[in-house]
Amino acid sequence: MERGIYSATSGGILESRRLEVVANNLANVNTVGFKASRLVAREQEFSDTLASTLEGIPSRAASDQQNTPGVVNVDVFTDFTPGPVRNTEAPLDAALVKENQFFVVQTQGGERLTRAGNFTMDSQGFLTTQDGKAVLGEGGPIAITGPSPKITSNGSIIAGGELVGKLRVVEVDDLQSLEREEGVRFKVNGGGQRPVVSANVIPQSLEMPNVSVIGSMVEMISTQRAFEGYSKTVQTIQELNDTNLRTVR
């Protein structure tokens, strides 16, 4: 493939992927506990090309690649920067202070971590997430047996003036070891989590997503323009190639 077209095409693919990431972030601007995704990419080096694996490659191949490098290793990572905390005055809402601490919920696939503390109660009196997953305490699922339940600043759950359970909070050493599942839930890969004895919880509050609407809109507009620029570049190179071919004929 002509180097210019390859370089512009790889740039266009990068911007297309960036557009998907920004759009997903914008779609979750009101999702409690959501963590934004970010895109990272690396400029192609000559050692990444097929030409570098062949023998007797002229120096021109390397210089051409250096003049018009492409893009490789486009990866998406999760930004765990804490989001703003909003007071809701709802007794079963809770937010965590430290960015590497998480609530634990039970799903069909096993235990998962989340920052979304908009909890509720199911018909049997168990504390659950909004989609019905059991919120785990230090002894397993939390059954609320008394009236007027509320979560306190250390994660304890009081109902009818008595302690009925305590939220299980864990701390993760390497946040990038977490694998995103179902939007606001994460799976720990390779261990690295430990229980928090004394959690710092903000009661009657929720951590909102760490997504800036204005910043995301600006990024979306600039990404769209960049994608259009790469597309125009590919079209221009193809037109020049066609012109050269006609001239030679």
Closest CA to 177 of 105, 101, 77: 77
Cβ neighbours of 92 (radius 10 Å): 20
Phi, psi for residue 63 in degrees, rounded to 5: -65, -35
190-232 tens-digit pLDDT: 767 888 888 899 999 999 999 999 999 998 898 889 878 877 8
- DSSP 8-state secondary structure symbol assigned to residue 98: S
Full-prediction pTM beyond 0.85? no
Positive or negative torsion for Cα 93, 95, 172, 188: positive
Q: Where are the domains of the chain?
A: 3-80+219-248, 85-207
88-115 tens-digit pLDDT: 999 999 999 999 999 999 999 899 999 9
H/E stretch holding 186: strand 185-188
